[in-house]
Amino acid sequence: MTAAHWRINATFQPLAVQSPDDAPTTSQPAQLCVQSVRRGIMTRPTFVAPIGVHPAINTRAHVTTVRRIARPTHARRQNAIIRACAAPSSNVTFTPIGNNTFVLEGAGTRLLIDPFLEEDLVFGIPQFFRLIKDPKLAGIARAGKFDAVVLTQHLPDHAHPPTLKRIDKDVPVIAPPSARALLTELGFRNVRIVAFDETVEVGNGVKVTAGRGSVVGPPGSTPMNALMFDFYGAKIYHEPHGVHDMRFLDQFEGVEAAIAPCVTATIPALNYALVNGADEAVQLAKSLRPKRVVAFDNSGGEYSGWLTKVLSGKDETDRLKELFDIDTELKNIDLVVPKVQLEPVVIADSVKQPVGSAS
C-alpha cells in the first residue's frame, strides 16, 4: 500500500493530513493539533477518524460513513497524534425517560436510545396491548437535543413509530437489520444498520458495537441487538431484556457500566421470560466485572389489553440491592439505582473527547 493520499475530516471544521510527511512528529507538543492550521494539517477536530479509513461525514447529522483507503506508512506516528488530541472530559451520564427510553451523553455526544415519547404504545390493536405513557415523561422535548437515535430492536416498544415520526429525518439512526424496513418507510435518510460484531461511529467519534441480545418471537428467530458504547475508552453495555452473550462480552475489558433491567416480565402459563431481572444482572456483573451496574426500570405508565392478563411483572430492585450487599464477589462493583426519571446519573468518569468539542 502507498501512503501518498489519505485524509481525516472533522464534523464541524475540516481537518486534513494531506500526507504523512506533513504531519507533526510525536515528539512535538499536542498543541500542534491546533497550531498547525496555517500548514493545513489540523483545525480543532471534533471527531478524528481511525487510521486507514476515509470518513465521509454528514456535517448536519454527525454520523460517519467509512470507506477504506491505503494505510499510511507512518500509522504509529499518526495514532500518537490522534491520542494527543484527546482531552479529558468529565463523565458519561445516563438519563432515564421511562420504559425502554433513555439518553446517554458523553464526549460531546448525546444518544437517544429506544425512544417511546409520543402517543400510546400499541401492539397490533389497542384491545391486544396498549400502554399510555406517564404524561410527566411524554413528549419528544423530554429528550432534549440529541446527535443520534440508537435502536436495539424493531418492535414498537423500542422503535416506536409515532415517536420516530416526530424526529428530524436527517438525524442518524443506528439500528439492527430488522428495523431497516420501518426506518425506510418512515423516511429516515441517514440510517446505519449494525449487525452482530459490527461497529459504527457517531457524533464526536463515539463507537457503537452490536452483539447478540434477546430473541423476541418464535424459537429460532434472529436475536435483537445488545450494544457496547465506547465513549473514548469509557465502555457502556446495554441489553434491554437481560439476555447476555458472553462470547460477545468477552472481547471487552475495563467496562465502566452495564445497564441491566431490574423489572421482570414473564408469561407464567408458558414459563417464558420476556425480560429478566436481578439474577441475570448479578451474573452479568460477575462475568463482565464492570465498575458499575445500572438498575434499569423499564416499567411505568398505564397498561391495558388482553396481553396484560397473561403477563406478570415484578420489580426486583430491592432484591438486586440485597444481592449486591451480601455477595462478596460484587463488593468492588457499585450498584447505581436512578431515583428520579429525567435526572442524569453519572455512570462513567474521566471520559476523553476531542479538543474543541462540547463537554
Query: Would you list the DSSP string of 28-84?
Result: S-TTHHHHGGGGTS----S--PPTTEEEEEETTTTEEEEEE-PPPTTHHHHHHHHHH
pLDDT at residue 160 in the model: 98
* pLDDT per position as a tens digit, 230-240: 999 999 999 99
H-run or E-run covering 293: strand 292-296
Do 70 and 108 fall into the same domain? Answer: no
- 3 in a domain, yes or no? no
Domain boundary among 84, 104, 132: 84
Q: Which three cell numbers stand for residue 91?
A: 463523565
pLDDT above 70 (res 166) = yes
- 70 in a domain, yes or no? yes
Non-local (6+) Cβ contacts of 18 within 8 A are 5, 7, 40, 41
pLDDT at residue 226 in the model: 98
Mean pLDDT of 108-130: 97
- Into how many domains does the chain fold? 2
Burial class of residue 38 (count of CB atoms within 10 Å of its CB; 0-12, 13-18, 19+): exposed
Do 262 and 173 fall into the same domain? Answer: yes
Non-local (6+) Cβ contacts of 83 within 8 A are none
Closest CA to 174 of 204, 208, 141: 208
pLDDT at residue 222 in the model: 87
Mean per-residue pLDDT over the chain, rounded:
80
Do 131 and 25 fall into the same domain? Answer: no
Do 51 and 97 fall into the same domain? Answer: no
Domain boundary among 57, 84, 111: 84
Do 233 and 114 fall into the same domain? Answer: yes
Q: Which three cell numbers stand for residue 14?
A: 475540516
Residue 282 sits in a domain whose CATH number is 3.60.15.10
Question: What residue numbers bound the domain in which 35 lies?
Answer: 20-84
pTM, rounded to two decimals: 0.75
Mean pLDDT of 213-221: 82
Domain boundary among 66, 84, 102: 84
User: Measured between alpha carbons, how far is 142 from 323 in angstroms, rounded to an integer?
Assistant: 33
- With cut-offs at 50, 70 and 90, classify the pLDDT of residue 300: very high
pLDDT above 90 (res 310) = yes
Range in 171-175, 218-222, 341-345 with the lowest mean pLDDT: 218-222
**Proportion of the chain above pLDDT 90, given as a percent:** 68
Range in 33-47, 112-126, 203-217, 275-289 with the lowest mean pLDDT: 33-47
- 2 in a domain, yes or no? no
Non-local (6+) Cβ contacts of 57 within 8 A are 9, 10, 11, 47, 63, 64, 65
Do 110 and 75 fall into the same domain? Answer: no
- 179 in a domain, yes or no? yes
User: Measured between alpha carbons, how far is 276 from 282 in angstroms, rounded to an integer?
Assistant: 11
* pLDDT per position as a tens digit, 16-75: 333 334 444 433 333 333 333 333 333 333 333 333 333 333 333 343 333 333 344 444
pLDDT at residue 6 in the model: 36
Do 208 and 299 fall into the same domain? Answer: yes
